[in-house]
Amino acid sequence: MSRNEVAILGAGMHPWGKWGKNFVEYGVVALKAAIKDAGIEWKDVDFVVGGDTMRNGYPGYVAGATFAKAMGWTGIPIASCYAACATGAQAIEIARTRILAGMAQVAVVVGADTTPKGFLAPNKGERTLDPDWLRFRLLSATNPTYFGLYAQRRMDLYGATEQDFARIKVKNSKHGFSNPNARYRQIYTEAEVLASPLVAAPLRLFEICATSDGGAALVLCSMEYAKKKGIAKPVRISAVSTVSPTFPNTVIDMPDFSTDSAAGIAAPERTFKDSISWAAYREAGVDPSDVNVAEVYDLSSALELDWYENIGLCKQGEAEGLLRSGATEIGGRVPVNPSGGLSCFGEAVPAQAIAQVCELTWQLRGTAGERQVAGAKVGITANQGLFGHGSSVLCTR
């Protein structure tokens, strides 16, 4: 097993929604909940990492400081980081490595966001050197455009159907129905999903994740500290993967116009998305077949199928079969997105990867209530941030 373990002492969230408040408020609520859950005081914390938000001005760019100030300055070191959708995993990794280096005992990780309505759009101005701006200007390539490309490819290559994509939405809507932190708590039928308007064919409105307000936080500590607190069997973070692609990256990624060329240098053994969780499995010494529960980034319903393969739950081209078998529903062999996933949450960018780990914490403790995956001992999260940010956290108990 992994020698790089830290304990998860506490987890907390502010419910996802469109609350229209300052992001700091969501972060503080989540942080206080995590600290209470950990059974410690704010004054016990000796390191803070904030996941940055790009949509809320300067306080969002220095989120670590913003949250530390809001909780009351205690003079401790702080860090802030941004890695798009992978921000939370990177924040966790910064805290974990500092704990493993012996430079912190109790660290908190917190991310929160307040988002505008509608499509995520690039920053303003004539930004002709920014590929994120140019993909909108030259191609009208929105985020759902990329999700649509992946979904259509599955249909043409692997026989995925619109019913498969709808089935994932239905599954996740059932999972998230009882989750008090979920924004959308409504059970859908396949017919309802298939009646929603097309956005980026073959994907429909109910199959594409919204943007949400929300906040999530974790209290991490050294294994010794957990022992001193009398917690014999804490949920542990056994691995964190924040890998980047290996050249040539041959699968088109948001927000790029093109892949790398594989004409000169052979493509790596694993695609970037395959390499993300592989690094976590390798670090933890865990096999994909050991996984009991997974939280993956269902930016679209169809993307969840890609993740089944990327995290090794099945081979390439077999995700539709795994889904249809019921294995990924609660009660199945390896439930995926028991929280309800992005389908029920919508994305609060810097909070989302932290929220995935909050869910695993509750699942592995056995305190997830109606959405509990029975007997879960090993869980993995997977996610990918714009511009080459891998994100995977492997938890064990």
The burial of 128, by beta-carbon neighbours within 10 Å (0-12 exposed, 13-18 middle, 19 or more buried), is given as exposed
Give, for 64, the enclosing helix (H) or strand (E): helix 63-71
Integer Cα distance of 222 and 107 in angstroms: 9
The stretch among 79-87, 107-115, 142-150, 163-171 that binds other proteins (CB under 8 A) is 142-150
Q: For residue 142, state whether it binds other proteins (rule: CB under 8 A).
A: yes
Q: Are strands 78-81 and 235-241 parallel, antiparallel or unpaired?
A: unpaired
Site for other proteins in 265-304 (CB under 8 A): 265
In this structure, the chain runs to a length of 397
What would the two tokens of residue 268 be?
């790596």
Q: Per-residue contact track with other proteins, 236 to 255, x per CB under 8 A? A: -----------xx-xxx---
Please report, for residues 46, 172, 188, 269, 321, the alpha-carbon distance to residue 313 in angstroms, rounded to integers and kept in the order given: 38, 17, 25, 18, 11
- Tell me if 140 contacts other proteins by CB under 8 A: yes
Residue 20 engages other proteins in binding (rule: CB under 8 A): no
Total site size for other proteins, rule CB under 8 A: 50
Question: Residue 257, interface with other proteins (CB under 8 A)?
Answer: yes
Are 256 and 131 within 8 A, CB to CB?
A: yes
**Candidates 75-83, 86-94, 130-138, 377-385; binding stretch for other proteins (CB under 8 A):** 130-138
C-beta of 153 vs 174, nearer to other proteins: 153
CA distance 55 to 118: 14
Q: Quick check: 62 binds other proteins (CB under 8 A)?
A: no
Provide, rounded to whole angstroms, the least separation between the CB of residue 121 and other proteins.
4
Q: Is 122 in the site for other proteins (CB under 8 A)?
A: yes
Question: What are residue 13's DSSP bridge partners?
Answer: 216
Residue with tokens 């995993």: 89
Q: Is residue 198 at the binding interface for other proteins, with CB under 8 A as the rule?
A: yes
- Residue 226 vs residues 110, 194, 198, 210, 257: alpha-carbon distances, Å: 20, 48, 50, 37, 47
Q: Which residue, 231 or 251, has its beta carbon nearer to other proteins? A: 251
Interaction pattern, residues 147-166, with other proteins; x per rule: CB under 8 A = xxxxxxx--xx---------
**Nearest distance from C-beta of residue 258 to other proteins, angstroms:** 4
Which region, judged by CB under 8 A, interacts with other proteins, from 27-35, 99-107, 198-206, 327-335?
198-206
Give CB contacts under 8 A, 24+ apart, made by 254-259. Answer: 254/143, 254/146, 254/386, 255/122, 255/131, 255/132, 255/135, 255/141, 255/386, 255/387, 256/131, 256/135, 257/131, 257/134, 257/135, 257/138, 257/139
Is residue 145 a contact residue for other proteins (CB under 8 A)? yes
- If one asks whether residue 1 binds other proteins (CB under 8 A), the answer comes out as no
118 lies in the site for other proteins, by CB under 8 A:
yes
232 binding other proteins? (CB under 8 A): no
The minimum distance between CB 30 and other proteins, in angstroms, equals 29
Contact 376, 396 (CB under 8 A): no
Residues that bind other proteins (CB under 8 A): 118-119, 121-122, 126, 128, 131, 133-142, 144-145, 147-153, 156-157, 197-203, 247-248, 250-252, 256-265
